[in-house]
Amino acid sequence: MQKENKEYILTEQLLKSGTSIGANVEEAVGAQTDKDFFYKLTIAYKEARESKYWIRLLTDADFLEKSVAETLMTDLEELLKLLGSIQKTLKAKIV
Q: Give the CATH number for residue 53.
A: 1.20.1440.60
End-to-end CA distance of the chain: 44
Range of the domain at 76: 2-94
The domain total for the chain is 1
- Residue 95 or 32, more confident: 32
- pLDDT single digits (tens) 13-70: 999 999 999 999 999 999 999 999 999 999 999 999 999 999 999 999 898 999 999 9
DSSP code per residue over 4-36:
HH--HHHHHHHHHHHHHHHHHHHHHHT-SSHHH
Residue 2, pLDDT > 80, answer no
In 3D space, the residue among 32, 34, 24, 30 whose CA is nearest the CA of residue 93 turns out to be: 34
Per-residue model confidence (pLDDT) at position 94: 84
- pLDDT single digits (tens) 62-90: 989 999 999 999 999 999 999 999 999 99
